[in-house]
Amino acid sequence: MTVLVAYNDSPQGEAALRRAHGEAVGRSTDLAIIVLTPQPPSDPTPATLAHVLDTLGSEVEVSIAYRYDGLEPADAILDEAERLDADLVVLGSRKRSAVSKFLLGSTTQRVLLDASAPVLVVKGAY
């Protein structure tokens, strides 16, 4: 069993990671993190992610994967969820205008519609 969280360096990413950690602890399962950066960082664990992980504790096993070149964030999340056979996918969400939703599409909406596992959307602090 695995809880997968999509993480980026934002208030929404941090809120999603904190909630996913709580879900993993409550379910006594592993926590998998997919870092949504255009390019993998030179450091295996970016400083911002390492800081958040340090504040969470070590009650669960944590693994980290990175979105690879050219792959849309939604595709990366869906592929990782399928690869892990995730029991839950956790995403952070931010407020978007109607025009933004119409023109740009939505990673969250795509994951909600296409994921085979339940999806939990967490509103980040602003």
Chain segment 18-35, per-residue pLDDT in tens: 999 999 999 999 999 998
Q: Please tell me the pTM assigned to this model.
A: 0.85
Number of domains in the chain: 1
Note the pLDDT of residue 103.
47
The residues, any chain, with a CB within 8 Å of residue 86's CB and separated by 6 or more, are 2, 3, 4, 32, 80, 117
Q: Which tops the pLDDT comparison, 102 or 45? A: 45
* Backbone conformation region of residue 24, classed left if phi is above 0, alpha if psi is from -120 to 50, else beta: alpha
Mean pLDDT, all residues of the chain: 84
Provide the β-strand partners of residue 91: 121
Q: Which domain holds residue 73?
A: 2-123
Note the pLDDT of residue 70.
74
Find the range with the poorest average confidence among 33-42, 70-79, 99-108: 99-108
CATH number at residue 100: 3.40.50.620
Highest mean pLDDT among 37-41, 54-58, 74-78, 94-98: 74-78
Residue 5 has pLDDT above 90, yes or no: yes
Question: Mean of the pLDDT values across residues 78-105?
Answer: 80
